[in-house]
Structures are given as structure tokens and as C-alpha cells.
A and B are shown apart, each in its own frame.
Chain A
């Protein structure tokens, strides 16, 4: 008799546990991205005595993209910055980034990339990922530039390093 009660008690506890989980614990769903554009993250560095150091660009800096033949400002007169994040074209294979310095000079950064639409889910829709294929720059204040992570997605990795002249 005691054994019967024990079995039934175990059963009730098991059912209640599962039911409680069903009622209180919602399905683990998707975390949709707020927009479907991923950004390439460009970080600033300088070389000091042969050693790489993070570089904070203190003067006003304006960063633009060449959009359909015209310069389109993405970041206007930002100060004390050590990185910028920029959208990439869904269809073009080369983006041109223009860095305008406060001394009136500018540098251009040419980013070659492929574009991959990514279907996430019915609810979240489609995202756009990119793969960096190549990089070139002018050398007014930019000494060099390098790809450090060629996948541009929503994980926020540093994709490009720009080395400024000190």
C-alpha cells in the first residue's frame, strides 16, 4: 500500500514538473536581429617602435561611403574614436570608404567583398552577410590596412585594421 502511494506520488510529481515547465517555460524562440544589414567593423591602430597599438583619432573625423557615384556621409565629425562600423552594399562587389580629416585631406579605402543573403527564419526574415575579399587604400594618413576577419555578420568581430601614421 505504501509502495503504491509512493509510485503514484512519483507520477504526480513527474506530471506536475512537466506541466509546470510547459505552463511557465515558454518555447525558446528566435532572437531576431533588429535590422537585416550587417556592418563591417574597422578599428584604428598605429605602429609605435614596431609594435601595434590601438589608436584614438582625436580630431573630428567624417566617414563617407560612395553611393551611386556620390559621397554619402555615414559618420559626421566624430571625435576621439578608435573604430567605426559601416554598412556594406548588398549587390556591389566593391565599397569605397572615404575618411575626411580635419586638415581637409582625405583617404579612400576600397573594400572588395561578396554578398550572401542568409535566410534566418519565417519570422525574422533574411539577413545579409558579406565576405571580405580584398583591401586597398590611399596613403595620406593611412599607412596600411589589413583584413583580420573576413566574415561580416552580426557577431561584431573586428574585420579590418587601419594603421594610421603617428
Chain B
């Protein structure tokens, strides 16, 4: 009888053996038997070493679509360039918009991609595309980047959330989610309140009872889970096991825990405060944090809009990079600054720029990235990509490569293999360290 692994992958033959070893080492925990199944089905194989390195991602999401002209790919003096200048940076020969003066001094941490051609200039579709790294297809519920990273870099028994998404503004607010990876990788989604729901012990139960009640539940559940080799059952145990740890992580979301100097360093805006929360989370081992800053959808008054929003972004992003660096976290934290698309070269009658997905920019900073590099090129007026065209999937492949995640790996949905990045997509080695 040929042994059939649940996901049909020969890879598990190896990883399961590896896992037996660790299980024995860890001792007979309540869910050991099921963790075995959990591993076979759910957990990234042979990823333990990667996880030990505690890599993290912070995604700064510019909801509504920031203009590449007023940020990373200025075209001063051109008809499409708008009123702002380009300024020199700490990297010779690289210029960015004068609206990002602080980032101009920190490009040595950052790679600029100027050649995204993603072809979807619709908010909903563009968002799904840039969140999942591929066009949405009806047959498969794809996970978004946060869920993919949570799965690849998170620990199954993590005591902190492994996908936190902060989206305070309403424009483009979208929870995203784990798709076929399952609820284990669903985001802790924070909108109005920065305190996750149900994270506090209710007053009706004393602390000691809360703890011992959980212990009793675990003890009683053990008998049930023991002989049932089922990943869903295992996930139930895992979820309850994580409750106490997640509750303890409540303080991570509280920036009052930071000294005033740190808060001043980041700045007073909501976005800047959330950048600080992101750093606190990453420092505590959260593998993926998204901070959304919306209202970039500047169909009218594009230049005033960017004057204001770029200042917010410039301060928040540069403070975050500085802080991560000072704490020795930048080598293990990848900061992605991305939107659903860019904005048109043409300036409309309301002095706005409209949706544009044919030639736009994003940045990658920190972990695995060759700082000071620029990849891709648009034509002099920014109408189209002239060199190094990248699709959403290429960006995702580059992100995975920067983190040391095998971008060629496949998940299995039943018998169907689903590659982690879209077909034919490859990382861009030029901007990888």
C-alpha cells in the first residue's frame, strides 16, 4: 500500500519525520498527536529554521492609490510632472519627489520599483490583485499577503497574533483574509478601536478562575482530540491554547506604554502612531502587520492631497525605518510601501490624477533588500514602462525571496497544486541583497 499523504506531497514524508523528533523533544503535550496532523496538513514544511530567524513584514498600505509622480518616480519639467520638484537623495543619481525629504535621506535602506504594470485600475479589483498577488479567480479563494506571511513566518503555537491589520480610515477598508489557508491565518482586524475585540478578560470572572477554567477545558478536550487525527480538531486546541498569550499581548497595542520621546519621534498623526504600534508588534514577534493610510484617491486637487499625505507618510515611514534600524530589527523586517495602483500621467480639469495601473511605483525596505537600488524605468512622461516591467506576482515573488521563503513552493488544495505566487512570476534579483 502506497502511503498517501493528506496533501499528496512527497515533501511531507520528510517533514513529518522531522516533526516527530521535535514532538518527542517537546514532551507529551495535550495536542501532540494532533500537532502531527496539523503539521502534515497545515504548517509550512521545513520552515522551522526560517521561523527561528523571526522575520517580519510591515505593509504600509496607501489606500486609494498614491501618485508615483509625487512620490517615487517624479517627472519634473514634463507636461505630466506637476508642480513639484525632484530632489537628490543619499543615493547618487536617484531622485525622488521633494514631498518626501526625509525618505530622500534614507534611500540606502530602500529599493524603489518604478515599473509595476498591473493592468487593473479599479479600486476593488486592484486591491484584491495587490493583496493576493494574482487576479482573483472564482474557483479558488486565495489568501492575501498577510495570511501567506502569517503562515510562512508565523509559529503554529504563537502567543501573539500573527497577522494584524490596522485600517482606521473608511476609504478602501477591506479586511482581506486567509482564503483557503483557513481561519488560523485570519487577520486581527482593527478599525475604530486599536484594541482587538474580546482580548480582555470579562469582569465577571476572576483572573485565576479564567486561567484554571481554560486548564480544565484543555484537560477535558484532551480525551477527545487524542485519537482523532484531524487538523480541524487540532486547530481548535491551538486556538484555545493561544487565548492566554493573545490576551497578554494587549499591551502591545497600547502606545501609552511608550515613552513620550518615542511617541514624539514617530509623530502625532494616527498613521504615525500606528507605525509605532507596528514596530511594537514586530518586536514582540508578530510576523505581519499592515498599517493602512487612506484618502490617496485624488481625482481632484491631487497636489494639495499629496502635499498633505506625503508629509504624513514621509514622517511615519522614515521614523519607522530609523527605529527598526536602531533596534537591530531592520535586517529582519521587510517594510513594503504599496497601494492598489498609481495615478495617471494626465492631470484632469480638477487638477486631479485618476486611476492608473500601467506604470507605477512601490518600495521595499529592510530585510533582504539591496538598499539604494532602483528597479525598472518608465518613459519620460510616465505613460508606460520602458524597462523591467513587473506584475503583481513578480512583486510577491520578490517579497518572498527577500524573506527567504521559497517562491516556487506550492500549496495543495485537494489534488490541485496552487503555487504561492502566480504562474510564471519571478523575483527581481537586482534589488535583493
A and B pair up: no
Residues on A close to B: CB < 8 A? Answer: none
